[in-house]
Amino acid sequence: MASLSLQHIGKVYPNGYVGVKDFNLEIADKEFIIFVGPSGCGKSTTLRMIAGLEEITSGTLEIDGKVMNDVEPKDRDIAMVFQNYALYPHMTVRENMGFALKLRKVPQDQINKAVEDAARILDLDQLLDRKPSALSGGQRQRVAMGRAIVRNPKVFLMDEPLSNLDAKLRVQMRAEISKLHDRLGATIIYVTHDQTEAMTLGTRIVVMKDGVMQQVDTPTKLYSEPCNLFVAGFIGSPQMNFIDATVIERGSDIVLTFGHNAITVTADKARALRSGGYVGKAVTLGVRPEDVLEVGAPAEGKRLSEPISATVSVYELLGSSVMLYTDADGASISASAEAATTARTGSVVSLVFDLDKLHLFDKQTELAVCH
């Protein structure tokens, strides 16, 4: 396995479109890195540049300390799992998996052994003599993984490998990939637009938007300390609430007001807002639905805000919990409430925020002020 270094990587297409801007990342051996972002953010382009399928316009790509910019894809010792699997339709599963070794003129008995070992890991033993057209989506996906494993590459690249599977199979395969990473101890770079996949699989996540890297961090850190409004909104489901609020100084306290509502922030956030010169200015208040509680709901150890009166516009029962979509003086606030709540569409509820879980963002730059 290997480490990768991407230094100031950029991609500009012949028509002038900038796909990726100044991408910098050091990937350690055995890391599971996730590139996540909306469509067109440059995550697949970056992956394809690492694979050698796209030319790198600027910057340097190193694998194990060797510059790879002009090295042919086959010589980079990289295996890739494609979104549509890209299996060879005219070859059996066995031939698909052993193809790379065959081209490298590896003796047939070694190829057979490698294919059978990989097939065992992926539970493909019974399918080795079938052609891809006789396989289900999940089986094809596993063959694509098997084809990568057989090569024993330095780096595995995966380009949205689960996006063509149904929801149930996706969850199952997600677990399989996670197990595979532990088992192979492989360096994996994985592209997805599904933030759940990103959060569950990655050791580190790279969030991208418009070709620009927004934040690189562990899933936990990314969730609890998003560096800007985009990351805060992209990571987490259901999405974080964003409320336009004004910062007011009231005695020694700092209060955030929106409509008729006012929330007194904790001392550390007050300090950050004062030192940043935000008093008297507008900021964006971010709070995740699970940090919005109904008054009276269990909240041991939590510092709660003043209650906010809101009218429920949509009630969604999710089984173990309920999503309440409410309106509080023009601010849309979604709250994840207990399933036992008596609130229904049209009812007026009292909501409180967990003060330690508030995120404040600069309205102009959209950068985080404090968490």
Partner 1 sequence: MGSTSKKRTFLIMLIPILVLFFCFNTLPLIRGLIYSFTNFRGFGGYDWVGLRNYVDLLGDARVGNSYLFTFKLALAATLLVNVASLVMALALDSKIKFKSALRGLYFIPNILGALVVGYIFNYFFTYIVPFLTNTTSILADARHAWIAIVIVCAWQSIAMNTIIYISGLQTVPEDVYEAGSLDGATGWNKFRYITFPLIMPFFTINMVLCMKNFMMVFDQIMALTQGGPAQSTESISFLIYNNGMAGGQFGFQSANAVVFFILIVTISVLQMRFLSSREEQL
Site of interaction with partner 1 (CB under 8 A): 51-53, 72-74, 78-80, 82-84, 86-90, 99-100, 103-104, 131, 133, 147, 151
Minimum Å gap between C-beta 173 and partner 1 is 19
Q: How far apart are CA 325 and CA 334, in angstroms?
A: 4
Minimum Å gap between C-beta 101 and partner 1 is 9
> Quick check: bond before 219 cis, omega within 30?
no
Minimum Å gap between C-beta 73 and partner 1 is 5
Q: What does the buried/exposed string (b/e) look like for 103-136 if buried means 16 or more CB atoms within 10 Å of the residue's CB?
A: eeeeeeeebeebbbebbebbebeebbeebbeebe
Our CB check for partner 1 shows the closer of 70 and 72 to be 72
Our CB check for partner 1 shows the closer of 82 and 315 to be 82
Pair type for strands 241-250 and 253-258:
antiparallel
Minimum Å gap between C-beta 76 and partner 1 is 8
CA nearest to 23, candidates 309, 48, 146, 85: 48
Our CB check for partner 1 shows the closer of 162 and 355 to be 162
The residues that bridge with 324 in the sheet, in sequence order, are: 315, 335
CA nearest to 360, candidates 207, 240, 250, 221: 240
Question: What are φ and ψ of residue 246, in 5° steps?
Answer: -110, 140
Q: How far apart are CA 261 and CA 134, in angstroms?
A: 61
Our CB check for partner 1 shows the closer of 11 and 359 to be 11
Our CB check for partner 1 shows the closer of 98 and 236 to be 98
Our CB check for partner 1 shows the closer of 90 and 274 to be 90
Q: How far apart are CA 73 and CA 85, in angstroms?
A: 17
Q: What does the buried/exposed string (b/e) look like for 328-361 if buried means 16 or more CB atoms within 10 Å of the residue's CB?
A: beebebbbbbeeebebeeeeebebbbbbebbbbb
Minimum Å gap between C-beta 3 and partner 1 is 20
Burial category of 207 from C-beta neighbours within 10 Å (exposed 0-12, middle 13-18, buried 19 and up)? buried
- Asked if 94 and 117 touch (Cβ cutoff 8 Å), the reply is no
Minimum Å gap between C-beta 144 and partner 1 is 8
Minimum Å gap between C-beta 147 and partner 1 is 8
Minimum Å gap between C-beta 98 and partner 1 is 10
Half-sphere exposure of 88 (CA within 13 A, CB side): 12
Our CB check for partner 1 shows the closer of 187 and 228 to be 187
Our CB check for partner 1 shows the closer of 35 and 361 to be 35
